[in-house]
């Protein structure tokens, strides 16, 4: 078995391009061993604290309606 090493990119379809200098092996079966960087872990940070009233003007109450709350009356103080 012959071994070669080169760097290349895996495209969005999972295809690996061999450099043209290795065209004599195009169409042949190969055993691949891939090495790629580990995904970098992102540092856990505290979520940004939202400011009270920051959604003001984004939501619109179409009607004040307490009728639907009747179903939950037994759970309310």
Look at residue 32 and tell me if it is in a domain: yes
The candidate with the shortest Cα–Cα distance to 69, out of 59, 61, 77, is: 77
Confidence of residue 65 (pLDDT cuts 50, 70, 90): confident
Look at residue 16 and tell me if it is in a domain: yes
Instruction: Look at the alpha carbons of 19, 24, 27, 32 in this order and tell me if their dihedral is positive or negative.
Output: negative
Number of domains making up the chain? 1
Look at residue 50 and tell me if it is in a domain: no
Whole-prediction pTM value? 0.41
| Residue 14 belongs to domain spanning | 1-37
The pLDDT value given to residue 3:
86
Considering only residues 73 and 11, tell me which one the structure prediction assigns the higher pLDDT: 11
pLDDT tens digits, one per residue of 18-62: 888 888 888 888 898 888 888 777 777 778 888 888 888 887 777
């Amino acid at each position: 078995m012959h071994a070669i090493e080169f760097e290349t990119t895996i495209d969005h379809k999972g295809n690996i391009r061999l450099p043209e200098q290795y065209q004599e092996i195009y169409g042949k079966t190969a055993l691949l061993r891939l090495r790629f960087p580990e995904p970098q872990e992102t540092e856990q940070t505290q979520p940004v604290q939202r400011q009270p009233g920051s959604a003001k003007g984004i939501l619109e109450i179409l009607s004040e309606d307490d009728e639907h709350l009747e179903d939950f009356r037994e759970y309310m103080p």
